[in-house]
């Protein structure tokens, strides 16, 4: 029943943790410059952090991008607010911008910068042979770097990450704990991969022979572009031949499944629990909402929006808004949804019509 | 081709493994006391284990909670049976209780107690700085405890678990292998987290700007209450601001996704592969069945039951039973399901009516 | 800002990586023997690899199994093509076989053989007590082998894999990084388990008592047969009593969930993100397509095909083809899908009929 205490808990603990959330004062003038905005109010007020509209205090900047908050600007206790250019309020300190949400993201990024790599390779990590690393690479305990791996500059490989043989990793990459990148996969620059994600597992390819299925070796890899963020516990399979490709700027949510030989175009969003079957092609600037399934070998165009829980079995041209299983134009889907709930009533009315018509028919003949 | 054998396989192996399943004799009188039940039959019979109805032998206690087993009490070879108070059988040894399933759970928990922490911190684990641990903490090889982490009493941190900086863990917690708790998340008392689960990954928040998406830093954390069980390979995202909250007594199944800023109320069940989108609020004592999707920003009330594969896009008040995509009252859903399969017939009848009416109309005018 | 370089990147790197993809020349006669095929053309041509139809060069063999490729045989630059027996082309070098896809899988397996275990137990791995290992077992860094574990011959346990106490593993097994096999589970021969998968997590079993849920201890295990492949980030729960069973030759895709006490029959396929609820029984040679949900306690027969995103709430006899939620005969499903998209039109026509009938009725009475 011994108590192992590496450190008595002291007030220093709290200090230490708070320190990890960087706080860097900016004047409102500096913030306006950062977001290319215009100031209405006091441009010398000092801002120490960001907070949501309801919780912001006098040292915080907050966001009133939507009508529901714009109406309540007077109620805010924030030191300053980021608002759209069209805002005509004249109380408080305002930063007017074209794109309030993007401006807020930039200010948040200033006050909560990404952790910097420590330039320490833990002696509890495993480093294979013929590994090449750039500058400022941090490798945490129990990470395992295979043979012939190339890692760029300013990369953080967190605890328990496994990089297979021949993997290449670009600059400014962060791999959260227990990420697995299987052999020969390529990761671009400025990529963030969340914990538990597996990249480069074998594609699901089998050839039936008699009672059995023969494995079709999956000899390709996965290539991930620049500025990509992959959510937690994703699975992205390697191609049978060639590469499964995740374009630049793609963002995936958690528990997303991308099968072998899929191509996901630049700046496309895959929302939680979406699954894309083998050899499907997803265009650029497209959004697949949560729990959507995409059939194998089809093509979804650019600038397509697919609603949640959709089952997309046929190719979709560019610029469509599609929802449902089967996928249909979103407007049709909304009508169909209303009707589906009323099917018992419609059926009753149909039966009523049949009865009435039979009576009429009888009268007619009678 | 050498054979590495750390131990010749002997009969001791089996003994060793069986030992790990604790067996602790109880008289039926002691069991009755444990579950606050009444005995009909021999209260001195010794019970050495629990088993399902069909497989129980004379040293086992089993459960006959449902009608299908109650009818067959005479067939059972179990040493004793747990039955509902309403049972009027008089053969065999019976323990009569108000809640047979709960009583059975208690007896099982006696014969299969949770493993006790060994009070050993493996020298193959990584322990950060300023870590505070209570008594009887077991930390297994290749677990990594970050800086400024606080761990309570009687905690088991299994192999490959990663606790980020500033994490706090309560008493009597078990984290199964390869669980990841990201920085500053808080885990309550008596929490069991199954293998591969990620808690505190970044919420999925981006602001579109031109062709790109800017990351909105996710500065909050995840707070998990007491008596919670989280399934395997779950993903629970940290809040943008504040906390994603999992209430007391919540139980999640495997592959469940909880997005940022979600609140899950006390004693709510999230069944396998369910996904909850950002800022949704789920009430208390609510059940979301498997593969359900919940839209962002909506509220599901207390004591709500949502059926499997539902797509809940609108808020649901307390005490509703809802199924389907779109969600509808469960009774409506059952009717709709029947009709959907008959749509081809209904369509045919509608076309028939149209034809007939045209004929009638023609006759009328003729 | 130091640059840590374990090795200057040299041309040797590429060589090293390419070496890992084995290349072993075969004459076309040898290939024909391997796949029990007949040759039309030059049986002495040397083949050095496999490639897709469009990309194959003169040293590659490729596949023209389907009509779309058979029509274009003349265009192929491949050194040889595997074609069906029925092919009557007489240009190029052809290997005629009964089952072109299976033959291609065999040729690929020759040119891309599975990695051989290195017979090295890393000194960075953790090996428990009373562990028995066969010959040629490779255990990578940060893998953890529990107590009383038995491992067969020619097994690769990759980095970060955790085998719980009492686990048994057969011959020729590969466990990819960060796989977790919980205590007392049994893995057969020739099993490949992809990264991040959890086998033997607790089944989701709770007994409501008052406001709370009591945990029902999950005392069983998972038994996995021979020739099984389990995808990445799967979760397969242990049984409450007895075993959750995965039959011989089963192949699961990624993010598949199998609950406690489920039985999956031999040579059955579970496609991506499918979930099977507790105590369901799935037959042999059955296919559950992606994102399908199976309700608890039901039985799906042998040789059943279930389409994608289906919700199977009722048992299905052998040899059925079922799709949809609710599951219905696939032919009905296809009709229903077409009608669902036209529901707004059908509703309109129904309303039109009602109106017309009212008019007729009025005329009649008038």
Query: Which residues of chain A from 131 to 190 reach within 8 Å of chain B, CB to CB?
Result: 140-142, 158-160, 176-178
Token readout for C22 is 């084995």
- A contacts of B363 (beta carbons < 8 Å): 364
Q: Which chains touch A (3 or more CB pairs under 8 A)?
A: B, C
Inter-chain touch B195–C182, beta carbons under 8 Å: yes
Distance to chain B for C163, nearest Cα, Å: 10
**What does the alpha-carbon distance between residue B284 and residue A28 come to, in Å, rounded to a whole number?**
43
Inter-chain touch B219–A4, beta carbons under 8 Å: no
Closest residue, chain A, to B233 (C-alpha): A233
Inter-chain touch C112–A217, beta carbons under 8 Å: yes
Helix B28-35 and helix B100-111, axial crossing angle in degrees, nearest 10: 120
**What does the alpha-carbon distance between residue B344 and residue C340 come to, in Å, rounded to a whole number?**
10
pLDDT at B360: 79
Report the DSSP pairing between strands B38-40 and B3-5. Answer: unpaired
Distance to chain C for A136, nearest Cα, Å: 6
pLDDT at B9: 35
- A contacts of C112 (beta carbons < 8 Å): 217, 219
Nearest to C216 among B2, B105, B309 (CB): B105
Distance to chain B for A210, nearest Cα, Å: 34
Q: In what order do the strands lie in the sheet with C293-294?
A: C126-127, C144-145, C162-163, C180-181, C198-201, C235-237, C257-258, C275-276, C293-294, C311-312
pLDDT for residue A20 is more than 80: no
- B contacts of A111 (beta carbons < 8 Å): 217
Distance to chain A for C93, nearest Cα, Å: 22
Distance to chain A for B4, nearest Cα, Å: 23
**What does the alpha-carbon distance between residue C225 and residue C243 come to, in Å, rounded to a whole number?**
12
Inter-chain touch B213–A267, beta carbons under 8 Å: yes
Q: Are C321 and C342 in contact (CB under 8 A)?
A: no
Share of chain A above pLDDT 70, in %: 93
Query: What's the per-residue H, E or C state across A332-355?
Result: HHHHHHHHHHCHHHHHHHHHHHHH
- B contacts of C350 (beta carbons < 8 Å): 350
- Known catalytic membership, residue B260: yes
Q: Measured over all CA atoms, what is the biggest interatomic distance in chain A, rounded to whole angstroms?
A: 99
Share of chain C above pLDDT 70, in %: 93
> How many CB atoms are closer than 10 A to CB B76?
18
pLDDT for residue C358 is more than 80: yes
Nearest to C357 among A148, A241, A357 (CB): A357
- A contacts of B212 (beta carbons < 8 Å): 227, 249, 267
Of the given ranges (A110-119, C145-154, C201-210, C312-321), which has the lowest mean pLDDT? A110-119
pLDDT at A362: 77
Query: Taking residues C193-219, what's their average pLDDT?
Result: 97
pLDDT at B13: 38
Closest residue, chain C, to A353 (C-alpha): C354
* Rg, chain C, Cα only: 27
Q: Are A180 and A160 in contact (CB under 8 A)?
A: no
Best of C22, C97, C159 to mutate (most A CBs within 10 Å, chain A): C159
Token readout for A337 is 């949804």
C68 contact partners, CB below 8 Å, separation of at least 6: none
pLDDT tens for each residue of A92-115: 999 999 999 999 999 999 999 989
pLDDT tens for each residue of C68-77: 999 999 999 9
C130 in reach of chain B (CB within 8 A) = yes
Q: Which chains touch C (3 or more CB pairs under 8 A)?
A: A, B
Selection from B309, A348, A114 nearest residue C308 by Cα: B309
CA distances (Å), A310 to each of A329, C2, C276, C341, in order? Answer: 11, 50, 20, 13
Query: Which residues of chain B from 88 to 127 reach within 8 Å of chain A, CB to CB?
Result: 119, 121, 126-127
CA distances (Å), C262 to each of A187, B163, C197, C278, C289, in order? Answer: 38, 33, 17, 6, 17
pLDDT for residue C171 is more than 90: yes
Question: Residue B366: exposed, middle, or buried by beta-carbon count in 10 A (0-12, 13-18, 19+)?
Answer: exposed
Residue in this structure with the two tokens 């209570």, named with its chain if needed = B134
Selection from A337, A280, A283, A286 nearest residue A312 by Cα: A280
What residues does B275 pair with on adjacent strands? B257, B293
Phi/psi of residue C185, nearest 5 degrees? -75, 155
**What does the alpha-carbon distance between residue C222 and residue C226 come to, in Å, rounded to a whole number?**
13
Distance to chain C for B209, nearest Cα, Å: 32
pLDDT for residue A330 is more than 50: yes
pLDDT tens for each residue of A237-278: 999 999 999 999 999 999 999 999 999 999 999 999 999 999
- C contacts of A116 (beta carbons < 8 Å): none
Best of C177, C215, C276, C336 to mutate (most B CBs within 10 Å, chain B): C215
Inter-chain touch A16–B130, beta carbons under 8 Å: yes
pLDDT for residue A302 is more than 50: yes
pLDDT at B7: 34
pLDDT tens for each residue of C216-243: 999 999 999 999 999 999 999 999 999 9
Of the given ranges (A4-8, A56-60, A336-340, B120-124), which has the lowest mean pLDDT? A4-8
Inter-chain touch A136–C1, beta carbons under 8 Å: yes
- C contacts of B55 (beta carbons < 8 Å): 241-242
Inter-chain touch C1–A119, beta carbons under 8 Å: yes
pLDDT at C73: 93
Across all residues in chain A, what is the average pLDDT? 92
pLDDT at C23: 53
Query: Taking residues A162-181, what's their average pLDDT?
Result: 98
A357 in reach of chain C (CB within 8 A) = yes
A3 in reach of chain B (CB within 8 A) = yes
Closest residue, chain C, to A154 (C-alpha): C1
Closest residue, chain B, to A248 (C-alpha): B212
**What does the alpha-carbon distance between residue B98 and residue A256 come to, in Å, rounded to a whole number?**
44
The catalytic residue among A158, A194, A260, A285 is A260
Give the residue ranges of chain B where pLDDT is below 70.
1-23, 364-366
Distance to chain A for B316, nearest Cα, Å: 16
Inter-chain touch A213–C269, beta carbons under 8 Å: yes
Phi/psi of residue C61, nearest 5 degrees? -105, 145
The catalytic residue among B158, B194, B260, B285 is B260
Query: Taking residues C296-322, what's their average pLDDT?
Result: 98
Of the given ranges (C120-124, C183-187, C361-365), which has the lowest mean pLDDT? C361-365
Residue A313's region, left for phi above 0, alpha for psi from -120 to 50, else beta, is alpha
Query: Taking residues A205-227, what's their average pLDDT?
Result: 97
pLDDT at A126: 98
- C contacts of A213 (beta carbons < 8 Å): 249, 251, 267, 269
Question: Residue B24: exposed, middle, or buried by beta-carbon count in 10 A (0-12, 13-18, 19+)?
Answer: exposed
Inter-chain touch A194–B209, beta carbons under 8 Å: no
User: What does the DSSP 8-state code read for residue B168?
Assistant: E
Distance to chain C for B58, nearest Cα, Å: 17
**What does the alpha-carbon distance between residue B64 and residue B71 come to, in Å, rounded to a whole number?**
9
More confident of the two residues B357 and C99:
C99
Query: Which residues of chain B from 214 to 273 reach within 8 Å of chain C, CB to CB?
Result: 227, 229, 231-233, 249, 251, 253-255, 266-267, 269, 271-273
Distance to chain C for A94, nearest Cα, Å: 40
Query: Taking residues C307-324, what's their average pLDDT?
Result: 97
> How many CB atoms are closer than 10 A to CB A42?
13
What's the ipTM? 0.93
Residue C77's region, left for phi above 0, alpha for psi from -120 to 50, else beta, is alpha
- Preceding amide of C45 cis, omega within 30: no
pLDDT for residue C309 is more than 50: yes
Selection from B78, B66, B65 nearest residue B37 by Cα: B65
pLDDT at C362: 77
- C contacts of A273 (beta carbons < 8 Å): 273
What residues does B221 pair with on adjacent strands? B243
**What does the alpha-carbon distance between residue B47 and residue A59 come to, in Å, rounded to a whole number?**
67
Selection from B310, B237, B204, B262 nearest residue A287 by Cα: B204
Query: Which residues of chain A from 36 to 95 reach within 8 Å of chain C, CB to CB?
Result: none
Nearest to B293 among A55, A233, A290 (CB): A290
Nearest to A353 among B213, B291, B353 (CB): B353
């Amino acid at each position: 029943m011994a108590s192992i205490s590496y450190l008595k808990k002291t007030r220093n603990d709290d200090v230490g943790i708070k320190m990890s959330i960087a706080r860097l004062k900016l004047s409102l003038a500096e913030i306006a410059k950062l977001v290319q905005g215009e100031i209405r109010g006091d441009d010398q007020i000092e801002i120490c952090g960001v907070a949501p509209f309801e919780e912001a205090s006098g040292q915080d900047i907050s966001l009133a991008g939507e009508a529901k908050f714009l109406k309540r600007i007077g109620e805010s206790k924030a030191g300053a607010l980021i608002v759209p250019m069209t805002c005509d309020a004249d109380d408080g300190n305002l930063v007017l911008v074209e794109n309030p949400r993007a401006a807020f993201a930039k200010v948040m990024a200033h006050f909560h910068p990404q952790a910097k790599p420590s330039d320490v390779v833990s002696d509890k990590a495993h480093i294979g042979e013929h590994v090449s690393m750039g500058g400022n690479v941090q490798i945490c305990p129990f990470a395992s770097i295979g043979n012939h791996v190339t890692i760029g500059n300013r990369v953080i490989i967190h605890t328990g990450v496994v990089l297979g043989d021949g993997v290449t990793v670009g600059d400014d990459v962060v791999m959260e704990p227990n990420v697995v990148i299987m052999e020969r996969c390529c990761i671009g620059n400025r990529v963030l991969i969340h914990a538990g994600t597996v990249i480069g597992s074998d594609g699901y390819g089998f050839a039936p022979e008699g009672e059995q299925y023969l494995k079709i070796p999956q000899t390709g890899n996965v290539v991930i572009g620049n500025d990509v963020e992959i959510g937690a516990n994703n699975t992205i399979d390697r191609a049978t031949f060639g590469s499964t490709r995740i374009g630049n700027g793609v963002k995936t949510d958690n528990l997303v499944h991308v099968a072998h030989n899929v191509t996901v175009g630049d700046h496309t969003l895959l929302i939680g629990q979406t699954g894309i079957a083998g050899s499907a092609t997803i265009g650029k600037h497209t959004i697949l909402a949560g729990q959507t399934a995409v059939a194998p070998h089809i093509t979804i165009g650019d600038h397509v929006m697919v609603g949640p829980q959709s089952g997309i079995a046929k190719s979709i041209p560019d610029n469509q808004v599609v929802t449902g299983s089967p996928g249909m134009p979103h407007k049709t889907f909304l009508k169909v949804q209303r009707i589906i709930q009323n099917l018992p009533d419609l059926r009753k009315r149909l039966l009523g019509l049949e009865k009435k018509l039979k009576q009429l028919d009888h009268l007619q003949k009678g």
